[in-house]
Structure 1
Amino acid sequence: MILPRLALITALLTASAVCAHETAGQHGGRVTDAGKFHVELVAKGETVDVFLSDEGQKPVPAAGFKGTAILVVGGKPARVPLEPADGNRMTGKAATALGDSPKGAVQLTGPGGETASGKFN
């Protein structure tokens, strides 16, 4: 009786972990969920670009959004303020180069005040 329950719990936890993985985005970055949005993180040198889309992968205009990327650089957190740019892109500059796949999180505040965050491993 205990063994089948353990097997079911293990299967459910494994399925949850698989669903939470990041995917590749159309701009060459990593995509993860942030509330009701999908966010794609693209880091090149000191530049951080975050692309917003909805659950159907349709671009969401970045106008009116505020954001911060909190990324690990050299074992220390680096806060990068994000500003709306063109289309569905938000952008910011870090003090140092970030590498191509920095770990961390993106925190967003939408035009209506709703907040969301997405984690990148």
Structure 2
Amino acid sequence: MIPWRMALMAGVLLALPVHAHEVSGQHGGRVTDAGKYHVELVAKGESVDVFVTDGSQKPVPATGFKGTAILVVGGKPARVPLEPADGNRLSGKASVALGESPKGAVQLTAPDGATTSGKFN
């Protein structure tokens, strides 16, 4: 028979929400998982840069990627189209200042057509 404490602990663990692992990146932004990629979000003023790496943190060329950053600004969503820039960076401009750590998500479409997203809290 399972002791009641173990059953209680299992119930608590199952009730906890699952969050993507978010850490600081090499460009000063926040990094989170987006499918098989990691994405780093760097927001300064109206500029949005997203850096794409693989699971080993090796840069993935941005050529062929498309993306959208959907960030919350003043309680409203701001959609920022992202286009490949240089190296592993996709870049876009918002119509309003975003602050340095906006909440939201980045949606990516890879060159092979696969879509994925990463959430930033």
Structure 1 equivalent of residue 81 of structure 2:
81
Unmatched segments (≥5 aa) in structure 2: none
CA distance 1:55–1:13, shift in 2 (3 Å)? farther
Counterparts of 1:64 and 1:102 in 2: how far apart (Å)?
26
Structure 1 equivalent of residue 68 of structure 2:
68
TM-score by length of 2: 0.91
CA contact (8 A) 2:69 2:79 kept: yes
The match for 1:6 among 5, 8, 20 is: 8
CA-to-aligned-CA distance 1:63-113 (integer Å, 9 cap, x gap): 000000000011000000000000000000000000000000000000010
Structure 1 equivalent of residue 27 of structure 2:
27
Which runs of structure 1 show a deviation greater than 6 angstroms over 4 or more consecutive aligned residues?
A: none
Counterparts of 1:83 and 1:66 in 2: how far apart (Å)?
6
C-alpha root-mean-square deviation of aligned residues, in Å?
1.7
CA distance 1:5–1:31, shift in 2 (3 Å)? same
TM-score by length of 1: 0.91
CA distance 1:33–1:13, shift in 2 (3 Å)? farther
Structure 2 equivalent of residue 107 of structure 1:
107
Unmatched segments (≥5 aa) in structure 1: none
Query: Which has a greater percent of helix?
Result: 1
Counterparts of 2:85 and 2:33 in 1: how far apart (Å)?
21
